[in-house]
Amino acid sequence: MLKKFVFLIFISLGTGILSRYIGLNSRQALAISIFSASVLGTLFFWDFRLSFAFLGISILLMSHTIDIAHVIEFSSLDVILFLVGMMVLVGLMKDAGFFAWIVGLILRVKNITALKFVVVISVVSALLSTMTSEVVSIIFMVAAVLEICDYFEVDPAPFIIIAVLATNIGSAATVLGNPVGILIAAKAGLTFEDFIIKAFPLAMACLLVTIFVVIIWYRKTIKQMDERIKELGANEILVKLISVPTDRQLKISLAIFGATLFFISLHHRLELLWNLEPNTILMTVPLFSSGCVMLWKWKRARDYIEKDVEWWTLLFFMLLFAQAGALKYTGATDVLARNLSRLAGNSLPALISIVLWVSAIGSSILDNVVLVAAFIPVIQSFQALNLNLHPLWWALLFGGCFGGNITLVGSTANIVALGILEKERKIRISFFQWFGVGLTVGIITTVIVWLALVFVPFYRY
């Protein structure tokens, strides 16, 4: 622990000194140094990440590197409020039994075969994460996978890995799939429609390829499961294992969630119709819906806010965004953007490649929100160099989401799923057990995105 702390201090100070050496001023160097400490803090001391964020922002304020008004401006309150609204809605859907109902649907798959099981968990994982975020989705998918694997007495680890890989891929498809999606949408001015037209098809193409890869990778496991299914017969107990009462509460909850998704999907058209600022409806629909939920369920309202909203994570995001904003505010990212552009020879394809691969490799080690928050001001600074930013935003989105598949600590969904697996079945997946399939899927899907962004003109504008 002490070694890691010394390393953190050494690297953070070293980054600051190096920044001064290459010509950045003292405020820029301090902003870079503090941000490096926060990034390394999340890497080495995950449970203490909020402490690092609090300390970092305090030092930035006390050293006049940034002022309070700009801390508030850069903390992306719009994104935070969007996430609060969605977390309240997810809490309602959980209460109503929606997620248990999805689990029940998977358990009831008729004439189950191992191949059908792999396809179902991959598709449902991906689609559920496009609607409810990767971390929410993976909990229910793991529950379904464990019940089915318990019934047929097969090792659940490969199927959990498959569900996680699909979840991370699905999380790039919409603004709801991952916090980095809404963050990029807010900063880039991208709409839900943009995601549906551009990100969704690309994510689904990658999902399809991933399904083929995992079917080949786990062919022996699939064969073994088929043998067990033949021995044990149909999934009769699983079919009636759980039930969810389809009462008024579930119907109203589904209606609220459905209406929220409907208005989110139409937000751009409505903003044009009502002459509102871009993304106003996108950001406010979850708040409006959760306001209605709290009126309807007024006895549970406090629980939704206090228990279902992850304040620890959201506070960390806010301060991290503010620290990344300090990089922009001091002009540090402008210098970085100029150097990066010069390194890429002012070539857009080269910059797309750098952003995509650096964010993919980076998010295989770091939390993708940290990485994307760091990249956003750099990409914004490219605008001053008259570069087309659109493909760079997509590169950042896909790199940040798909990179999470490479290692077992690459995304929160991976950590949550493996935590449940270890607790439930005492199975600990080793780094290399994951890395083989994770790296293969990570590289193949990132190459697909790279080809699309560099060679398909559709992704240029």
Partner 1 sequence: MTREIKSVSLDASAREALDLLQKMQISGLPVIDKDGRLAGMFTEKDILSYVLPSYIEKVGRFVYEENPKSIRRKFAELDKIKVSQLMRKEVVTVSEETTLCEAARLMLTQKARRLPVVDKSARVVGIVSRGDVLKAMSQEAQGT
Contact footprint for partner 1 (CB under 8 A): 93-101, 103-104, 139-140, 142-143, 146-147, 150-151, 237, 240-245, 420, 423-424
Cβ nearer to partner 1, comparing 43 with 244: 244
Which tokens is 412 given? 């929160």
CB closer to partner 1 out of 204 and 244 = 244
**Rounded least distance, CB 321 to partner 1, Å:** 27
User: At a CB cut-off of 8 Å and minimum separation 6, what does 282 contact?
Assistant: 82, 175, 185, 191, 192, 264, 267, 268, 271
152/393 with CB nearer partner 1: 152
Q: How far is the CB of 150 from partner 1 (least distance, A)?
A: 5
**Cα separation of 21 and 377, whole Å?**
22
Q: Closer to partner 1 at the Cβ: 146 or 305?
A: 146
Which lies closer to partner 1 via its Cβ, residue 143 or residue 173? 143
The nearest distance, CB 377 to partner 1, in angstroms, is: 35
Other Cβ atoms less than 10 A from the Cβ of 267: the count is 23
**Is the alpha carbon torsion for 105, 106, 107, 111 positive or negative?**
positive
First-last CA distance in the chain: 47
Task: Give whichever of 241 and 292 is closer to partner 1, judged by the CB atom.
Answer: 241
Q: Provide the 10 A C-beta neighbour count for residue 284.
A: 18
Cβ closest to partner 1, residue 146 vs residue 454: 146
Please tell me the distance from the alpha carbon of residue 373 to that of residue 369, in angstroms, as a whole number: 6
Which residue from 118, 138, 47 is spatially nearest to 414, judged by alpha carbons? 138
CA distance 60 to 38: 12
Amino acid at 405: N
Token pair belonging to 324 = 């990344």
Q: How far apart are CA 399 and CA 406, in angstroms?
A: 11
Q: To the nearest whole angstrom, how small is the minimum distance from the Cβ of residue 151 to partner 1?
A: 5
Q: What is the Cβ-side half-sphere exposure of residue 404, based on CA atoms within 13 angstroms?
A: 32
- Non-local (6+) Cβ contacts of 70 within 8 A are 322, 325, 326, 329
Residue type, 10: F
Q: How far is the CB of 425 from partner 1 (least distance, A)?
A: 9
> Rounded to the nearest whole angstrom, what is the least distance from the CB of residue 100 to partner 1 in the complex?
3
Distance of closest approach, residue 249 Cβ to partner 1, in angstroms: 8
Q: Quick one: 219 or 428, whose CB is closer to partner 1?
A: 428
Q: How far is the CB of 188 from partner 1 (least distance, A)?
A: 33
